[in-house]
Chain A
Amino acid sequence: MQLEAALETARVGHGQFVLVSGEAGIGKTALVDRFVQTNGDSTRVLRGYCDPLLTPSALGPLLDITRDLGSDLSMDIDGDRRASAIFARFLAILTELSKPALLVVEDIHWADEATIDLLKYLGRRLDGARVLMIATFRDDEVRRHDGLRFLLGDLATTRNVERLELARLSRDAVSSLAGGRVADVDGLFRSTGGNPFFVTEVVANPAAEVPATVRDAVLGRVARLGPEGRRLLDRAAVVGARVDYELLEAVAGPDGTGLSECLAMGILQDLGHCLAFRHELARNAVLEAVDPLRRRALSREVLAAAIQAGFADKGLTARLAHYAESAGSAPDVIRYGTAAGQTASSLGAHKEAAAHFRAVLRFSEGQGSAERARISAAYARECAVLDWLPEAIEAYRMAVELWGDCGDRTRQGEALSLLAWPLVRHGANAEADEIAQQAIALLEPLGPSRELANAYRTHAHLRMLDRDCGRAVEIGGKAMSMAADLDDMATLAGAEMVVGAAKLVTDDREGRAHLDRCIEIAQAGRLHEVVALARMNIGTSYGEQYHLAEAEDELIDGIDIAREHDLDHSGHYMASWLALTHMFQGQWDKTAALCDDLLAQPNLAAISRIMALVALGRIRVRRGDPGAPEALDEALHLAKRTSTLQRLAPVHAARAELAWFAGDPKQAAAEARQVFELAERRRHAWHTGEMLFWLKRAGETVPDIDWIAPPYARQIAGDWEHAAALWRQRGCPFEEARALADGTEAARLRALEIFDGLGAAPAAAALRREMREAGARRIPRGPRSSTRLNPFGLTNREMTILGHLVDGLTNAEIGNALFISPKTVDHHVSSILSKLGTPSRRDAAELALREGMAPQNGDA
């Protein structure tokens, strides 16, 4: 059996994750129960459940599990700890158990966002742990649960994850399950469709006619209960999927009349620590049969009992909120919904937090403004995290208004600054800018404050996005000095980042110092997201300015941090830029592998998708491979929606190149013209340079702009030799060869060599044709005849480091020489070893000497 095999693999330290799926009543729980029973002695069984509450309880299953474990992890969950710290501790606990762990999480189609995050976290880190993780879910619910869908997509690529899909029973199986107790086996099979739960319900209460639905079957059975039993069962259904003894006792009276009847009939089961319905389908049928008014009254009873039982202190506020909402009790929804929302938010269960706050807002109409303002702002923040931008904008606006009503200008200014962010992401940059200025105008008269420092930082960031870098640096400076005075490290780190980024995108190398300070502050405060963001800013700014080797180092470092802390969005964006830097450096196989991986991600953000499609489209164009128009059409469609230079310029540049190689210079010029003006207005030296280059290539007269990037300026001016040298310095072989192709016959031969080495077939073919037409006598036939200087496909950076390995330098020494971290050097060294197929640095150095690769210094 699949589960047994997975457990054996897990026992020897290769953790496994099995996802058991099937429709409701198919027997997922029964299967897991049996498996747990068989293997319970040789493993440590840990079981958690997701419950069908109005709003799921954040990390509910983990709470169940830690109760079993007897660890104090539940304190962290209830307290203000971050989810990542809790996940790490839980994994540590799992790996330190004396027996292999059998970790079961049931019904994850009801899971909250933080639980989905936990499963993703564990799924990626199971290898090396003696853990078999089993999660069950209804496959017909997947499409309604985005988080679960993304989780399944994410795990699909993981080696140690398996799917186990349970099928319905055959007619023969139904017949044997009925065991002669039902006469009409065909009718039974037809009605139940082979659903095991349905079949057993019918078999337990054989009637003349087979009931048409599972609900009828359950109610037919329940109808045999006496009034006491029915009274108790209704209350149990209101309590939930699992029924706590203390609640049932309180609502059913101390003698628990009717319980024995329910247990005897098998509708309720005794699980030891609580009671449970035989199946959620049964509970649903019972609950639906209770009329709405009575359900409200019963919910009120259960709520009172749960408050009495101290649920609030046991981390069960989400259940209190659920009962309060079902009971329609406004003060309790406000009290417990707010608490449950705060817990969910700090654990990263943002959807659940938003749902709690939304309920609180609905129930608090007419309450004091300050209270509602606070909840509005909390709701808006969750919506912003979830990318529900219109809701976030509306809720922040409401908070601004409500704080205004209270006359609290500080809070009002704070809410205005916060409102600016969803506006920007929604594409309303101009409005965001105005809002940020309003915040400053409101806060400045009140004197220095954290809120004002943050308002400055926000406005500076908006100016930076618009590439109004002078203003960004000026306002960002105010934010930095105020935040420093007030010891507000988060705002200080953010302000340093903005000022640094504003300087870097204009190629002002001073920006680096600001970003380094930002990283230092963020590391001290363990603000991992900020560290990753800073690396991302440095890496992508370097990439945009064609400092490719440096960009590569930063991005590799940043991707590492992102992976360590599951910051998928920034990790993906950096990986898409890494693909671009590989593309420009002529490492097309690496580009293809990265893009392949990225574009298969189920929830890739548009900005990452655009950059990956550009990288992929460009290698297809340069190799002459099919599929380039498709990739670049999709990229254009996405880039148009952002309407920013950052996205439009790379896409149109790639499309201009595509049109050029398709023999359509007019179209190439048209593509370049699409962004030329915007690039010029923003004074972007590289984008403007590339657009001018294509316009010129297409035969247009182009204006003389003296600030464009030198390699393009030189090539447009006809100085191919200088242009080629500049491209070589930047480490862009294709661009270098393109410049050389404008030169003398000797230069053209070198260009052919480079094109052939890269596998740039269309460029090579075009150059051969031109050379033949120009009457060149000696044209090498193809890739085969080119000399292979670098037979192992090392990057320039790797060639440089190989040179240092030959000299016997350590990683630290190499890092010092190249101004990169020893960790980054280590990355390069392992890549070199794997490409050369040598086991050690010394073997690599020897091979380099033998093959005559040592003296080359790739970073000329």
Chain B
Amino acid sequence: MARYLVERTFPDGLGLPPTQQGNEVAQTVVGNNAEKGVTWIHSYVTTDKKHTFCIYDGPSPEAIRKTAEKNGLPVDRITEVRVLDPYFHY
């Protein structure tokens, strides 16, 4: 299982409010991901909410794209990454 950084652009801003409805959307995404063996770890969102940087675990970039399509999420770029932690660097 590889780890990926997925960059996305939302020209109209990301609509995922911290409400019950927002939670439901997030849970749908998590459920769809599981079908392809993809796990959404977490995301960083720019302050204007137009770009996200999402960390995923998945079997292949194709699986990441497939779930993105299922969830109706755009994909700008997928990069395979490794963890580099400054506080446990030995």
Contacts and interface: CB of A to CB of B under 8 A. Distances in A.
Nearest to A761: B77
Given A589-B66, A589-B69, A596-B62, A624 B77 contact: yes
Nearest to B61: A625
A816 to B, nearest CB: 36
A626 B56 CA distance: 13
B23 to A, nearest CB: 27
Interface in A739-770: 759, 761
Interface string A32-57: 00000000000000000000000000
A814 interface: no
A592 interface: yes
Contact of A761 (B62, B66, B69, B76): B76
Interface in B23-76: 60-63, 65-66, 69, 74-76
Nearest to B11: A784
B78 to A, nearest CB: 5
B78 A625 contact: yes
A596 B61 CA distance: 11
A143 B80 CA distance: 34
A620 interface: yes
Contacts of A761: 76-77
Contacts of A759: 75
B76 A626 contact: no
Contacts of B62: 592-593, 595-596, 616, 619, 625
Contacts of B65: 589, 592, 623, 625
Interface residues of B, number: 18
Contacts of B2: 626-627
Given A626-B4, A626-B78, A620 B61 contact: yes
Nearest to B9: A782
B79 interface: yes
A404 interface: no
B80 A626 contact: yes
A783 interface: yes
A761 B65 CA distance: 13
A591 to B, nearest CB: 9
A73 B29 CA distance: 53
Given A761-B77, A782-B9, A784-B11, A626 B66 contact: no
Nearest to B36: A596
Given A761-B76, A761-B77, A782-B9, A626 B61 contact: yes
A672 to B, nearest CB: 26
Interface in A614-650: 616, 619-620, 623-627
A698 B14 CA distance: 42
B76 to A, nearest CB: 7
Nearest to A626: B80
Contacts of A596: 60, 62-63
A783 B61 contact: no
A623 B6 CA distance: 13
Contacts of B11: 784
Nearest to B10: A784
A761 B9 CA distance: 13
A619 B60 CA distance: 13
A37 B78 CA distance: 57
Interface string A778-789: 000011100000
A759 B66 CA distance: 13
Contacts of A595: 62
Nearest to A616: B62
Interface string A574-613: 0000000000000001001101100000000000000000
Interface string A656-687: 00000000000000000000000000000000
10 nearest A-B residue pairs (beta carbon): A626-B80, A592-B62, A625-B61, A625-B78, A784-B11, A627-B61, A626-B61, A596-B62, A626-B79, A624-B77
Given A592-B62, A592-B65, A782-B9, 10 more contacts: A593-B62, A593-B66, A596-B63, A620-B61, A624-B78, A625-B65, A626-B61, A626-B79, A627-B60, A783-B74
10 contacts: A589-B65, A592-B66, A593-B62, A596-B62, A619-B62, A626-B2, A626-B61, A626-B80, A627-B80, A783-B74
